[in-house]
Structure 1
Amino acid sequence: MYRTARRSLFASGFALTTALMFSGLAGNADAADLTPASLRLKWLPQAQFAGYYVAKAKGFYSDEGIALTINPGGPNIIAENMVGSNTDTFGHGGGMASLLQAREKGLPIVGIGMLFQETPYRLVALEKAGIKKFTDLKGKTVSTWFTGPQFMVQAMLKANGIDRDVNLEAQANSMVPFIDGKVDVATVTVYNELLILKRRNVTPAVMFNPADMGINLANEAIIVNESTIKDNPKLVQGFLRASLKGWVYAMTHKDEALDILLKEVPTLNRTEQMETLEALQPLLTYGAGGSKGIGYIDRDNLAFAQKFLLDNGALKKAVDLDSSINTTFWDKVPASDKVIPR
């Protein structure tokens, strides 16, 4: 089973013939006129990235004059690094936190879209833990991933005055320690670990959402290298429009989206991927994502993210926010291509 990436807060050179062979070329553009480009995912192909596969299969990229190759991520393949080095043209990265950390490191990447308007992380506890309200975590053992989410957990604990009274430990790659009661509280994403618990008939008694406690860092950034923006803004515009259009189509035609995804990766479980796809929609349409359109970048939220990361030691120095994002491409995407009908 494919596991969803939890990236640390932390092949663009494919020949045209190779890119075209996998592109499907469902659009109207002449094959000889297509510009080759690549997209690096943050993890392995799965429903978390369905919008791109849909856009490719439906010819949305070729309609924009792009022959797109979609490259998988992996444990040691970080989209921010691949785009920063121009190994890949575009990337589906970790989110605001990883974008800012990459900029601090000097990587010339720019966010042009932010898919998850709401953080996908939750803290969960079973009934046997005896937790009803957040302050009941005092004296309990809490597990989380020390790849970024730990900062949110620590901030939640500190805000409630119990940060010194909780045993915070690294979370395993399995939910078994939580199910067996070896930890009282675990961290989950709504589109992966929470669904794993459901499939095992394990129902958390309580669930705490960081966003409800004022800690909401947008996730799943669409990124590109500064040089690509400068040298080929038409390519960037076409890619973003096609990608957002693909996501809108995937969310409004979920069965067809899964047909496309499973054709690409037949080993995936259709039922599980549908559950994942359904869990993504509230994250995509949270707040401005629903009213203004998916992929919206909220600069105020970016400023909040930077302050949060600085306050928690995840950033050593502030970075220039205005050069970290470029919203002009998103602004030019028609509402029909980025707003999911209600």
Structure 2
Amino acid sequence: MRTRYRMERRALLTGGTALALTAVAGARVPLAQTLDKVSFQTNWRAQAEHGGYYQAVAAGIYRRHGIECEIRMGGPQQNPAQLLLAGRVDFIMSNGFQALNYVREGLPFLTVGAIMQKDPQVLMTHEGNGINSFEDMKGRPILIGASGRVTYWPFLKAKFGFTDEQIRPYTFNVGPFLADRMAIQQGFISSEPFAAQQAGARPRVFLIADAGYQNYQTTIDVSQRMVNEKKDLVQRFVNATIEGWSAYMKGQDVAGANAAIKRDNPEMDDAKIAYAVQVMNQAGIVASGDALTMGIGAMTEARWKSFYEGMRDVGRYPAGLDYAKAYSLEFVNKRVGLA
């Protein structure tokens, strides 16, 4: 089922002619000049959670930055990180864990921007059943998928005293959740709660990021070689992407982007897209924290350090890992899109 793979995708290990132009933040390139062609691989089928990239294409933002961007839609049989490592794509959508994996494996790839300041992963239960906090979930059965067990679950164990004995297999549909008013299951804030609502439930949602889980999501990953050899192109791609996300989250002329999302993924409809954008805005998934002052895509050394140390302390990564190699702050924190 679609939901099955959708929830697993975050944990997957997980070109062109140069323009004669000096790179500056937010630079616009005349359309008459040759466009640099790049490919961007998403981590799943088209959806509102990818909206900023589609907006940058549909609204001509990439082209104004001298780029012809091909969005390649992900799916259950694709591993974006493997495609990047093999040189089959220029940029991929990923997450903080993948960036640290590059370092652990000695691979010359890194993250150059983080679109989602908050990981959209949630635990959800039913309103009115007495489960009102993460603390109330201690000792209770929780439906968790395989990827969650190696990403956010160690954080929950350390933070709230959860144990592996609480884990129950996640069936990747809301059926068991609907059948049990005491059920607790994983989900994304922009997806599973909507499905539960459509089935008549009243889900209560707990965003793990709001409990201190610091994983960056929907990151932009690229090879170190491309950063070294085409720095101007990487900067223009990041700037254009940020502008696309800024417009999309504000709902500025997004009809073209949404039409492209629905074209690529017929499972999407206007109601699903509208719900996802609404809750992402309400929860500050894209625009919160550092992004409010430094612009969408913002990252900081302090946050990366905290994320690595937290995952190191729960045994996810070894001590002494040179986590600073996982990312570059050179291309973000420039207040692009804030005006």
Same fold (TM over 0.5): yes
1:154-203 alpha-carbon deviations (Å, 9 max, x no partner): 43244333526x52123121121111129721112111112212222311
Look up the SS of the partner of 2:254 in the other structure.
helix
In the alignment, which residue of structure 2 is the partner of 1:89? 90
1:269-328 alpha-carbon deviations (Å, 9 max, x no partner): 112111112222321112111222110012212112212222233224543232221111
Identity over aligned pairs, percent: 21
Q: CA deviation at 1:42?
A: 0.7
Task: Describe the shift of the 1:99–1:149 C-alpha distance in structure 2 as closer, same or farther (beyond 3 A).
Answer: farther
Q: Is the 8 A contact 1:111 1:324 kept in 2?
A: yes
1:192-224 alpha-carbon deviations (Å, 9 max, x no partner): 1122122223112x4433234332322111111
Task: Describe the shift of the 1:132–1:60 C-alpha distance in structure 2 as closer, same or farther (beyond 3 A).
Answer: closer
In the alignment, which residue of structure 1 is the partner of 2:26? none
Structure 2 segments unaligned to the other structure (5+ residues): 18-28
In the alignment, which residue of structure 2 is the partner of 1:273? 273
2:272 and 2:302 mapped to 1: Cα distance?
A: 35
Q: CA deviation at 1:73?
A: 1.2
Q: How does 1:33-52 map to 2 (within 5 A)?
A: 33-52=34-53
Task: Describe the shift of the 1:2–1:136 C-alpha distance in structure 2 as closer, same or farther (beyond 3 A).
Answer: closer
Look up the SS of the partner of 1:329 in the other structure.
coil
Q: How does 1:185-264 map to 2 (within 5 A)?
A: 185-204=184-203, 206-253=204-251, 256-263=253-260
Q: Is the 8 A contact 1:218 1:301 kept in 2?
A: no
In the alignment, which residue of structure 2 is the partner of 1:311? 313
Q: Is the 8 A contact 2:121 2:187 kept in 1?
A: yes
AA aligned to 1:103 is V
AA aligned to 2:137 is L
Q: CA deviation at 1:150?
A: 5.0
2:127 and 2:64 mapped to 1: Cα distance?
A: 52
TM-score of the superposed pair, with normalisation by structure 1:
0.84
AA aligned to 1:320 is D
In the alignment, which residue of structure 2 is the partner of 1:61? 62
AA aligned to 1:115 is I
Look up the SS of the partner of 2:38 in the other structure.
strand
Please say which of residues 48-57 and 256-265 is displaced more in the overlay.
256-265
Task: Describe the shift of the 1:249–1:149 C-alpha distance in structure 2 as closer, same or farther (beyond 3 A).
Answer: farther
Task: Describe the shift of the 1:285–1:139 C-alpha distance in structure 2 as closer, same or farther (beyond 3 A).
Answer: same
1:150 and 1:208 mapped to 2: Cα distance?
A: 19
In the alignment, which residue of structure 2 is the partner of 1:283? 285
In the alignment, which residue of structure 2 is the partner of 1:79? 80
1:106-155 alpha-carbon deviations (Å, 9 max, x no partner): 33211111111122122222257542443433442111222146542343
1:264 and 1:285 mapped to 2: Cα distance?
A: 21
Q: CA deviation at 1:29?
A: 2.0
1:62 and 1:279 mapped to 2: Cα distance?
A: 30
Which of 291, 294, 297 is the matching residue for 1:295? 297
Matched residues, number: 320
TM-score of the superposed pair, with normalisation by structure 2:
0.84
Q: Is the 8 A contact 2:55 2:256 kept in 1?
A: no
Look up the SS of the partner of 1:7 in the other structure.
helix
Q: How does 1:130-149 map to 2 (within 5 A)?
A: 130-148=130-148
Look up the SS of the partner of 2:258 in the other structure.
helix
In the alignment, which residue of structure 1 is the partner of 2:126? 126
Do structure 1's residue 29 and structure 2's residue 31 form an aligned pair? yes
Task: Describe the shift of the 1:201–1:28 C-alpha distance in structure 2 as closer, same or farther (beyond 3 A).
Answer: farther
In the alignment, which residue of structure 2 is the partner of 1:19? none
Q: CA deviation at 1:57?
A: 1.9
Q: Is the 8 A contact 2:189 2:207 kept in 1?
A: no
AA aligned to 1:225 is S
2:12 and 2:144 mapped to 1: Cα distance?
A: 14
